[in-house]
Amino acid sequence: MLRTAIIYVVLLVVMRLMGKRQIGEMQPFELVITLLIAELACIPMADTSIPLLYGVVSVLAIYVLHELVTLIDLKIKPLKSVISGKPSVVINKNGIDDYQLKRNNLDVSDLIESLRAAGYFSLDCIDYALYESNGTFSALPKQDYEGMQTSLPLVIIDNGKFDQKNLALTGLEQAFFEDILQREGVKSTKKVLVLTADGTGKLYLQEKGEKFRTLRVNYPAGKTW
């Protein structure tokens, strides 16, 4: 019983530390239960050298712990955020909140993937986006956001590094974007959190720790995608 309680608490802490990436629509303590209960029930069932009582006691202990944690989660608000975590606002009016992303073991490409899954393809069409405590993603788009999504934006720079694959897809040279960064007063590519470019010439640029900006450029030789 004590061993089960220790494993439960350790798993719960680890799940909370892992951030929202590891959770999918379950609160961390619910995921821990899911992970534990199947194993606890299976081991004595499959291994005849272990008394069945051991499985029953462990499952019962898990039940008590789960009920206690659920009660705390529902009744004691300050502890709710400790047990289940808080929603993380990863996009606000200033753009992407890199700190919140890192806290949840996510990066810009994960965020863009979540946005696409939610039906938003352009970073500048979002006012707010957040990861709920159970790991689900919610976004509040700007008014008329559909008109802003006329072409698929590609990530050109992700966390200070050029994405060579996407660069090849655009058919543009790295130097083209480096010139734009220079004109915009960006001292180094490493300082860029994200740079996306869509086929119409709209760029989304955000330096680390800075507010995002959108730019309009003309691609050489009338390139588009």
Partner 1 sequence: MVKSLAAIAAALLILTGLAVFEHLYTRESFDAFGAELQTLYQKADAEEATESDAEAVRLAWEARKEKLHIVLPHGDVNRFDDVLSETVRLIAEREYALALPKLEVLIHLAETLPSSYAPSLANIF
Per CB under 8 A, does 60 bind partner 1? yes
Q: Which stretch binds partner 1 (CB under 8 A): 24-32, 43-51, 165-173, 186-194?
A: 43-51
Number of Cβ atoms within 10 Å of the Cβ of 156:
25
Per CB under 8 A, does 6 bind partner 1? yes
Distance between CA atoms of residues 204 and 193, nearest Å:
10
Per CB under 8 A, does 57 bind partner 1? yes
Q: Is the dihedral angle over the CA atoms 147, 148, 149, 151 positive or is it negative? A: positive
Q: Which stretch binds partner 1 (CB under 8 A): 9-17, 59-67, 103-111, 211-219?
A: 59-67
Per CB under 8 A, does 13 bind partner 1? no
Nearer Cβ to partner 1, position 10 or 38? 10
Count each helix (H run) and each strand (E run) in the chain, helices first.
Answer: 9, 9
Q: Which stretch binds partner 1 (CB under 8 A): 18-26, 66-74, 155-163, 164-172?
A: 66-74
Among 9, 14, 64, 82, binds partner 1 (CB under 8 A): 64
Per-residue binding letters, 70-109, with partner 1 (x by CB under 8 A) = xx---x----------------------------------
SS (H, E, C) 140-205: EECCCHHHHCCCCCEEEEECCEECHHHHHHHCCCHHHHHHHHHHCCCCCHHHEEEEEECCCCEEEE
Per CB under 8 A, does 41 bind partner 1? no
Return the residue matching tokens 């996510």: 106
Q: Which of 15, 24, 13 is nearest to 131 (CA)?
A: 24
Site of interaction with partner 1 (CB under 8 A): 1-3, 6, 48-51, 53-54, 57, 60-61, 63-64, 67-68, 70-71, 75
